[in-house]
Homo-oligomer: A and B are copies of this chain.
Amino acid sequence: MMQVPLTVGSLLERAEKFFPKKEIVSRTLSGISRFTYKEIGQRTRKLACALERLGIQKGDRVGTLAWNHHRHLEIYFAAPGIGAVLHTINLRLSPEHISYIINHAEDQVLFVDEDILPLVEAVKDHLKTVKAFIIMTDKDKLPSTTLEPVYSYERLIEAGDPTHSFIQDIDENDPAGMCYTSATTGNPKGVVYSHRGIVLHSFALGLADTTALSEKDTSMAVVPMFHVNAWGLPFAATWFGAKQVFPGPMFTPKLLAQFIQEEKVTVTAGVPTIWLGLLKELEQGNYDTSSLRGVLCGGSAAPKAMIQAFEQKYNIPFLHAYGMTETTPLATISTLKSYQKDLEQEEILTIRSKQGLLVPGLDMKVIAGDNEVQWNGKEMGELLIRGPWIANEYYKDDRTSEAFKDGWLYTGDVATVDEEGNIKLVDRTKDLVKSGGEWISSVDLENALMAHEAVFEATVVGVPHPRWQERPVACIVLKDAFKEKVNKQELLDFIAPQFAKWWLPDEIIFMDDIPKTSVGKFLKRELRSRLKDYFIEA
């Protein structure tokens, strides 16, 4: 067979060649604009040209601090297109972590959204490698800033060559992108994505048995483009020539609902908190969501009650998936096998609420100690994954040896596997509540609590206990309409039938808000820290 490398540039080339008329809808600070793939292709080539003129060379890292919009999409292809490395930076991290990762990645240039400028200005004196700041503004004039040197994205593009060729001399194992994932302690850890990994992952997203991304789709990535490449959707959607919608900065649930209705979005992707917000909006408004064929949900486990609302109340298929920064990210996706389609609705919901089947192309095992667990939906163990779009290290980081062993990624996630091979995440290894020598799944308790009509958000953490080592404590945010109308005992009674008595939380604490990570996951570390003396003082 020909030794033709799998390259990120070739994904855009297909869209330019076969789908030049298809549309990109992009929301920025000044409103909504529309582009075709032909235009995006020309702008991307101009940008690639501009990057080379700025001195960016093969292997150099190109940083972005940006929301989801068409310019960010252009950098997604322009950087790998010249052999450079697209480094998307999580703008919700602390200033210390942001400057750490820019320095650690040795970013040569930074692309910055206009509204993110203050964040970058605040850390600029700590940046050691950045030679240029490129401001993505819709205005003709650059905003005043203390950064230097600064360039206007649109001015750079104007001067570029719309026929600029993408790099040909490239190995498919060369780096194309990178992303940092936050660590429980210490600095974020970098993961490098190869051209090969991104292309194979794009194949995986197009399979009929996974997300079936297609030219017929209108794809709206709500998950930020700085969060594992928006789960790879912009790459795959471009390759297949799908229409794409980018919701831009500071979007609201209302805006998402409007986009779904007006642009006829068919598939959208985001974390559970996004979908909780959307559900709330759908309850209040009167939206036509009939175009949606799938809501892809990952990042953390989706509560069963939420899945039920989408599937049964709104008739929107829910695609529950699992992955992490280290897995590009798609690793598993909930799917009904052909012989399961006539099961009772409740059984189907149970399957849908699992993280599902391993995606074709990957290997997995779930181990407890040295042995693989039985596939009985009960035995818990740590999930290990292997495959061509799974990282093999953290970038220049001693912590590599903690997660990568014997050719496997140790995910740190505790899972069961049912008879059909479906993964169900039970917990993070570090979030399991260890009580009296036994394990209690915080996630199972959370899901049970979330099923109560009054509960908006629930999280359960293990709190040090003088007698039992740890005991579970639930932190609850009630829906507005139920505030101060539900008490601890009611919630405990509600979930009691599902659990052994010793699994039930010792305490339920009502809060206005649960602290979350920059990507919307519950910040259990923060809660554990707040509650660490709870039983010891008591």
Contacts and interface: CB of A to CB of B under 8 A. Distances in A.
A368 interface: no
Interface in A353-390: 357-358, 360-361, 363, 386-390
14 contacts: A2-B390, A2-B409, A3-B392, A4-B390, A14-B360, A18-B420, A203-B203, A203-B204, A203-B360, A203-B361, A206-B360, A207-B240, A208-B240, A209-B214
A339 to B, nearest CB: 7
A488 interface: no
Nearest to A266: B338
Interface stretch (A148-156, A189-197, A219-227, A498-506): A189-197
A386 B392 CA distance: 30
Contact of A240 (B173, B360, B420): B360
A67 to B, nearest CB: 27
Given A14-B360, A18-B420, A339-B21, A407 B207 contact: no
Interface in A175-220: 192-194, 196-197, 199-200, 203-204, 206-209, 212-216
Nearest to A239: B360
Contact of A206 (B21, B194, B207, B216): B207
Given A1-B196, A1-B390, A2-B407, 19 more contacts: A1-B197, A1-B328, A1-B388, A1-B392, A2-B387, A2-B390, A3-B388, A3-B392, A18-B357, A18-B420, A19-B337, A206-B209, A208-B212, A208-B213, A209-B214, A209-B216, A209-B240, A212-B212, A241-B337
A170 interface: no
Contacts of A3: 173, 388, 392
A13 to B, nearest CB: 8
A19 B204 CA distance: 18
B208 A1 contact: no
Contacts of A209: 206, 214-216, 240
B239 A4 contact: no
Contacts of A173: 1, 3
Nearest to A241: B337
A173 B4 CA distance: 12
A399 interface: no
A207 B197 contact: no
A516 B420 CA distance: 47
A387 B3 CA distance: 8
B388 A4 contact: yes
Contacts of A4: 363, 386-388, 390
Pairs of residues from A and B, 6 with the lowest C-beta to C-beta distance, nearest first: A208-B214, A208-B212, A1-B197, A203-B203, A18-B421, A206-B207
A405 to B, nearest CB: 12
Interface in A264-307: none
Contacts of A19: 337
Given A215-B338, A360-B240, A420-B18, A388 B208 contact: no
A391 interface: yes
Interface in A1-59: 1-4, 6, 10, 14, 17-19, 21
A18 B18 CA distance: 36
Contacts of A338: 215-216, 243
Nearest to A420: B18
Contacts of A21: 339
Contacts of A208: 206-208, 212-214, 216, 240
A446 to B, nearest CB: 28
A6 B18 CA distance: 28
A106 B197 CA distance: 36
Contacts of A192: 1
Interface in A236-282: 239-241, 243
A385 to B, nearest CB: 9
A263 to B, nearest CB: 13
A387 B5 CA distance: 8
Contacts of A387: 2, 4
A335 B215 CA distance: 10
A386 B387 CA distance: 26
Given A206-B207, A208-B214, A240-B360, A388 B17 contact: no
Nearest to A335: B215
A212 B207 CA distance: 7
Among A196, A200, A358, the most chain B Cβ lie within 10 Å of the Cβ of A200
A203 B207 contact: yes
B216 A2 contact: no
